[in-house]
Amino acid sequence: MAGIICLVLAGFVLAFIADVTQPVRGREKPVLIDIHRGDRFLEIVDTLHREGMIRTKVSFYLLALFKGAAHQIKAGEYEFPPEITPSAILDKLIKGDIKRYRVTIPEDLTVQEIADRLEQLGLIDRKYFTSLSTDRTFLMSLGIEGDTIEGFLYPETYFFDRSMGAREIMIRMVAEFWKHITPAMKKRAQTLGFTLQEWVTLASIIGKETGYGEEKALISAVFHNRLKKGMKLQSDPTAVYNLKNFNGPIKRRHLDMASSHNTYQIEGLPPSPISNPGLDSLQAALYPATVNYLYFVSRNNGTHFFSTNYISHHQAVKKYQVNGKKE
């Protein structure tokens, strides 16, 4: 009798081991499962069983009991590969090894364009994200003195997860901005007579005007020279900043529109940045090229032709914009 009991127990142990150390066959694609804060362990096991992640609930209950894991499971979105074992599933849940999304934020996107990317991945509530972007209390907690987070969401490749939400994502991106801002850069901005907000605003315009790193110091020089002479900056991207979902080309009617950021209509710098610039634009705003240029026009190939006077500029406009577009 004792031998039979031992055989039964041995069989049970072997079946249990096989149950928790072998993946459930038949799945070809990864499975995404959301574990919410407050979900009971039994509910989590039901979900795993329903999704075909485990064979028997009892074996998983026992495994969790042995590991003392029932109250250690962390909330979040989990991605389980096809060949994962129930034991590995439980380890993943205990460690909180949740799914992270690789998000690349290129230079010179606006807050709204960044929100588009994050919303498409289901990482933010867009309405809350937009509200936070102009929340003065929140901005002050991040060290931002202006009225918008525009300009301070640093372009970089991040790994976010859906448990973070808009606030934590913004905090992470602004922290990345401050990581790149040195005391020497702040001092240089002050020497030039710029507040930090004005410096970032100028950098954002430079970034919107050109994607060529070698041109940015030249673009910066044009704007610095214009500011010194009391000339309007007349930057095309500023004219359409306040237009929702604008997708070029920029026309004369846009330049003639009255808006708070349109530098064809206002004097000096706009009241806030028009995008989120990268480090090269921030550096260019601080260190313009030593040239006398006051004008530039696109050559229609991503580069620009620079001029020191209006006559030369007018000729360049005729060559590259009028005649060039007819060819």
Q: Decide which of 318 and 275 is more confident.
A: 275
Structural domains of the chain in order of their starting residue, each with its CATH number: 28-99 (3.30.1490.480), 101-180 (no CATH), 190-293 (no CATH)
What residue type is assigned to position 321 of the chain?
A: Q
Task: Decide: residue 4, CB within 10 A, 0-12 exposed, 13-18 middle, 19+ buried.
Answer: exposed
Nearest Cα neighbor of 94 from 66, 116, 136 is 66
Surface-to-core class of residue 321, CB atoms within 10 Å of its CB (0-12 exposed, 13-18 middle, 19+ buried): middle
Would you state the pLDDT for residue 110?
97
Element (DSSP H or E) covering residue 305: strand 304-307
Q: What share of the chain is helix, strand, coil (3-state, %, to 5)?
A: 50, 10, 45
DSSP 53: S
* 10 φ, ψ (degrees, to nearest 5): -65, -40
CA separation for the pair 123, 116 (Å, rounded) = 10
Residue with tokens 């004008």: 295
Mean pLDDT computed over 208-230: 96
pLDDT of residue 247: 80
Q: If you average pLDDT over residues 9-19, what whole number do you get?
A: 54
Position 15 pLDDT exceeds 80: no
Q: In which band, very low, low, confident or very high, does the pLDDT at 326 lie, cut at 50, 70 and 90?
A: very low
pLDDT of residue 229: 96
Strands 76-80 and 31-35: antiparallel
At residue 114 the predicted structure's pLDDT band, cuts being 50, 70 and 90, is very high
- Mean of pLDDT values over 263-288: 97
Predicted pLDDT of residue 26:
72
pLDDT 10s digits, 175-188: 999 999 999 999 99
Model confidence at 324, pLDDT cuts 50, 70, 90, reads: very low
Return the CA Rg of the chain: 29
For residue 240, CA distances in Å to 139, 226, 260 come to 25, 20, 11
Q: pTM of the full predicted structure?
A: 0.86
Q: Tens digit of pLDDT for each residue in 67-76?
A: 888 788 888 9
Query: Nearest CA to 246 among 148, 113, 132, 48?
Result: 113
Per the listing, tokens 């498409």 go with 120
Q: What is the mean pLDDT of residues 130-134?
A: 97
Give per-residue pLDDT as tens, 75-97: 899 999 988 999 999 999 999 99
Residue 259 CB burial class (10 angstroms; 0-12, 13-18, ≥19) = middle
Tokens in use for 112? 């709204």
pLDDT greater than 60 at residue 200: yes
Average pLDDT, the chain: 90
Cβ-Cβ contacts under 8 Å for 77 (sequence gap 6 or more) = 32, 33, 34, 35, 98, 99, 161, 162, 163
234-247: pLDDT as tens digits: 999 999 999 887 88
**pLDDT at residue 61 in the model:** 87
Residue 66: its pLDDT value, please? 84
SS3 (DSSP) at 242:
coil
Range among 20-29, 81-90, 129-138, 304-313 rated most confident: 129-138
Does residue 327 have a pLDDT over 50?
no
Residues 97-112 have a mean pLDDT of 96
Give CA–CA dist 243/188, Å, rounded: 33
pLDDT at 155 over 90: yes
Alpha-carbon span 219 to 205, nearest angstrom: 9
| pLDDT on residue 3 | 59
* pLDDT for residue 4 is more than 80: no
Q: How far apart (Å, rounded) are the C-alpha atoms in residues 286 and 202?
A: 9
Give the pLDDT score at 95.
92
Q: What is the pLDDT of residue 27?
A: 76
Instruction: Please identify which residue in the block is written with the tokens 């001029």.
Output: 307
Residue with tokens 């006051």: 294
Which comes out higher in pLDDT, residue 184 or 27?
184
